[in-house]
Structures are given as structure tokens and as C-alpha cells.
Amino acid sequence: MKPANNPNTTPSDDPNQPVELSQPPESRAVSWLHQFTDWLSFAFFFGVCSLFFWLVFDLETRASIEFGWSPWVVTAITLFLIAFVGILEGSQIAIINLDDKDPMDFCSEKLHTRKIKALMAAKESIHHYLIGRQLLVVVSVIVFSLLTSFPHMRNHEFGAYIPPILDMIVFKLGLINALVLLWFGQLIPQLIAHRAPQRLLNFWVVRKVIQLCVFFSHLKIAKPSSVVANQVEIENIKPPAKTK
């Protein structure tokens, strides 16, 4: 017969109760600090994004001031460039993660993934893709930075409260739009590609962007870089010797 629990015993004295391990004060402090910095990171994220799009619709971008573009046009170009850079960044991580896979390993539902793997089967194709991808990333980032910078924030109604050095770094040089592009155009696509590389590559538009990268590489804009890089001797990586 199972003995009845004594109501006067504490949980630590009762052998039928699971023992709860309390965290040391140092661990609780570290956990609280992690939670605080997480909330601070999200607050910074939403604050920067809100400020960016508020300034876009307040006609403060270089594109609106110098070219007279409406905020809707600037927003559309901004979203397009973010998506384009996201495909360039995510496709690279996905292709690297699937480098050891055979195109026939993918099911028929992953048609575009299979075609991309077939296109990247040759080392020369990967070489052209990486060159063209980097070229398109650099051009897209420069265009994004120029169009969405805020050159005249000192003339804004609250511009008098902005220190000159902060105005130079954050608005004129484009730190604020660089953060937006970093979050949405680089980190998020790269992390998604790391988690689901087949799913990311299985889109028609991703395959076309990869083909566009290969096409731009064939224009030989980066040929001088290849000539310089070819002067470095190729390493023959040998496996470590087995010890007895």
C-alpha cells in the first residue's frame, strides 16, 4: 500500500515529489540580462524601421528631394531592392548548404531547386555565379544607399536637436538605411536559407536571379580580379594522417 503523504512535510522532505533545482543568482541575473537585451534589440529594430519609413513618406529621401519621386515610388524601389538583395544573399547560403547534394536527390516538387543544382554542378558555373552575385550586390547596395539617404535632416523641424556628427553618420552616410537593408535584405534571407535551403531555391524568380548572376559574370567586368587571384597557387588540402 502506498503511504499517504504527510501534509506537514515540505516538498523537499517528501520523496514522492520531484526535486526542483533552483537557479543560482548568477544564472538568474544572466537570464534577466538576456531578456532585457532581447527586448532592447526589438525596440531598436522597430524604432529604426519606423523612423526610416516615416522619413521616406515625409519626402526627406535623396530620391524625393533631387528627383521629385513620390514616397510610394521610393517605397516600391526600396522593397524591390531589399527583395533582390535578399535573393542574392539567401541563394548563396542555400547553394553552399546543398553543395554535396546530387540534383536527382530532390523530389519532383522541387523542380526549380533541381534545375539550380544542375546549373551549379560545374565548378565553373559556381565561379561565374559568385562573381556575378557579388557585382549585383555591390550595385544594389550603392543604389539603395544613395536613393534612401537623408541629406537635409538639419533643415527638418527637429533638425536643430540632431548633433552634426550624428546627422553625418546616421542620415547623410546612410547608417539608418544600411541597418534596414542588413536586417531584411541580408540576415533574414541568410538565416532562412540556412534553415530551409531547398525551399528557398524552389522559386522561379530565384532561379532567374541566379541565371542573371551568371550572365553578368560573362560580361567579364571582374576579369582583372580573376587574373590577380589566379596568381595564388591552389592549395592541395590533404586529410590529416591517421595516428595509430
Tell me if 124 is assigned to some domain: yes
Cell 542588413 found at: 182
| Res 205: pLDDT | 95
Pull the grid cell for residue 19: 526535486
Tell me if 18 is assigned to some domain: no
Total number of domains constituting the chain: 1
| Res 227: pLDDT | 83
| Res 103: pLDDT | 62
Check: CB of residue 31 under 8 Å from CB of residue 23: yes
- Domain hosting residue 110, numbered range: 29-222
pTM (2 d.p.): 0.78
pLDDT in tens, the chain (244 residues): 445 555 554 555 555 555 444 556 667 667 888 888 999 999 999 999 999 999 999 888 999 998 999 999 999 999 999 999 999 999 999 998 887 776 666 666 677 888 888 888 777 888 889 999 999 999 999 999 999 999 888 787 777 788 889 889 998 888 999 999 999 999 999 999 999 998 899 999 999 999 999 999 888 888 888 788 888 877 776 666 666 5
Q: Torsions phi, psi of 176, nearest 5? A: -65, -45
Closest CA to 69 of 84, 56, 82, 80: 56
Which amino acid is it at 192? I
Tell me if 74 is assigned to some domain: yes
Sort residue 122 into left (φ over 0), alpha (ψ -120 to 50) or beta.
Answer: beta
Tell me if 107 is assigned to some domain: yes
Tell me if 121 is assigned to some domain: yes
Tell me if 88 is assigned to some domain: yes
Tell me if 1 is assigned to some domain: no
How far is it, in rounded angstroms, from Cα 14 to Cα 8?
10
| Res 213: pLDDT | 93
| Res 84: pLDDT | 97
Tell me if 229 is assigned to some domain: no
